[in-house]
């Protein structure tokens, strides 16, 4: 289907979704949120990895405050529950690996949209800003969930209260994102990483995400039991058979996905 606020391409198992409202730094409006949900579902059905990035000089500047839907009386709770929650859960629950390739500023809900992906790779010139307190709001779009888990409560609290920009390199050092890459190498890097996932063992990636996300709420015994169950499932896949065969034959595996 044609999109108005994003671009979508799929080549060799890799879907790339780019927010495409560069004139407003890819700010989120109702149409963009809806198209993202559709595109992520489409990628889950036809690709083996998906990248979320932005066009122009920003990744995403957050909620579009000039959106007509924002004018007049606005029920933020309703907007978050009806539009943001489905979008964030579509990314978080995506059955294939997800990467946010942050090409510029990621602010407010845009920063937390990026953090919803499995892996975040950012250009060194990028910044992450929990800008909400500047307009009298609290972090939303998952920010109060991601940040304490990723960078610890002291840094999360400071980032949210002061709303200071966190440069990509610092975000990587804190553990907020996976890596910061020189701008000149950025696109090559995220494409190489994404294609590696698109050509990898899809079922194993899905199980690894499940296990890692369950760990904080499990006891050691519960986690060991979950690992055993998921490993048993992986051990019965064609990807496992291919991985072992490739290892023994000293060749690159050719995974078919699951």
Is 257 a domain residue? no
Query: What is the sign of the dihedral through the CA atoms of 160, 217, 87 and 11?
Result: positive
> pLDDT band for position 127 (50/70/90)?
very high
Of the three residues 198, 214, 231, the one that is the final residue of a domain is 198
Is 22 a domain residue? yes
Q: What percent of the chain has pLDDT over 70?
A: 96
pLDDT for 96 equals 96
Residue-wise pLDDT for 10-33, tens only, equals 999 999 999 999 999 999 999 999
Do 240 and 169 sit in the same domain of this protein?
no
Do 88 and 136 sit in the same domain of this protein?
yes
Do 97 and 60 sit in the same domain of this protein?
yes
Is 255 a domain residue? no
pLDDT for 68 equals 64
Do 101 and 86 sit in the same domain of this protein?
yes
Q: What's the domain count of the chain? A: 2
Is 1 a domain residue? no
Is 152 a domain residue? yes
Is 256 a domain residue? no
Judge whether residue 170 has pLDDT over 90.
yes
Do 144 and 237 sit in the same domain of this protein?
no
pLDDT for 34 equals 96
Q: Distance from CA of residue 103 to its chain's centroid?
A: 13
Is 191 a domain residue? yes
Taking alpha carbons only, the member of 72, 62, 65, 185 closest to residue 122 is 185
pLDDT for 2 equals 86
pLDDT for 76 equals 85
Higher-confidence residue: 1 or 195? 195
Do 231 and 122 sit in the same domain of this protein?
no
Do 41 and 141 sit in the same domain of this protein?
yes
Judge whether residue 74 has pLDDT over 90.
no
* Residue 79: domain span: 6-198
> pLDDT band for position 67 (50/70/90)?
confident
- How confident is the prediction for the chain on average, in pLDDT? 94
Do 225 and 145 sit in the same domain of this protein?
no
Do 145 and 227 sit in the same domain of this protein?
no
CATH code of 65's domain: 3.90.226.10
CA distance 198 to 232: 23
Residue-wise pLDDT for 211-246, tens only, equals 999 999 999 999 999 999 999 999 999 999 999 999
Judge whether residue 71 has pLDDT over 60.
no
Extract the tokens encoding 145. Answer: 């969930």
CATH code of 244's domain: 1.10.12
Cβ neighbours of residue 218 under 8 Å, at least 6 residues apart?
226
Is 254 a domain residue? no
Judge whether residue 258 has pLDDT over 60.
no
Residue-wise pLDDT for 172-211, tens only, equals 999 999 999 999 999 999 999 999 999 999 999 999 999 9
Extract the tokens encoding 223. Answer: 């986690």
As a whole number, mean pLDDT of residues 150-167 equals 96
Do 59 and 103 sit in the same domain of this protein?
yes
Judge whether residue 83 has pLDDT over 70.
yes
As a whole number, mean pLDDT of residues 64-71 equals 71
For 205-231, give the DSSP string: HHHHHHHHHHGGGS-HHHHHHHHHHHH
């Amino acid at each position: 289907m044609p999109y108005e606020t994003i671009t979508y391409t799929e080549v060799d198992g890799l879907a790339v979704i780019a927010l495409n409202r560069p004139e407003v730094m890819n700010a989120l409006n109702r149409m963009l949120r809806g198209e993202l949900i559709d595109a992520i579902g489409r990628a889950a059905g036809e690709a083996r990895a998906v990248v979320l990035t932005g066009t122009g000089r920003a990744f995403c500047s957050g909620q579009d405050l000039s959106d007509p839907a924002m004018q007049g009386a606005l029920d933020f709770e309703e907007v978050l529950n009806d539009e943001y929650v489905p979008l964030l859960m579509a990314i978080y629950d995506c059955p294939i690996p997800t990467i946010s390739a942050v090409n510029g500023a990621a602010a407010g809900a845009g920063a937390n949209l990026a953090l919803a992906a499995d892996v975040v790779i950012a250009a060194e010139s990028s910044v992450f800003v929990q800008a909400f307190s500047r307009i009298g709001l609290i972090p939303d779009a998952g920010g109060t969930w991601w940040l304490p888990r990723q960078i610890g409560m002291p840094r999360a609290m400071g980032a949210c209260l002061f709303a200071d920009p966190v440069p990509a390199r610092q975000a990587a050092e804190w553990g907020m994102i996976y890596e910061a890459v020189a701008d000149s190498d950025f696109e090559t890097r995220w494409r190489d990483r994404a294609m590696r996932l698109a050509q990898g063992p899809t079922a194993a990636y899905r199980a690894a995400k499940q296990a890692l996300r369950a760990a904080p709420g499990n006891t050691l015994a519960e986690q060991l039991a979950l690992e055993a169950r998921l490993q048993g499932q992986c051990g019965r896949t064609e990807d496992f058979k291919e991985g072992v065969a490739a290892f023994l034959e000293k060749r690159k595996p050719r995974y078919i996905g699951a």
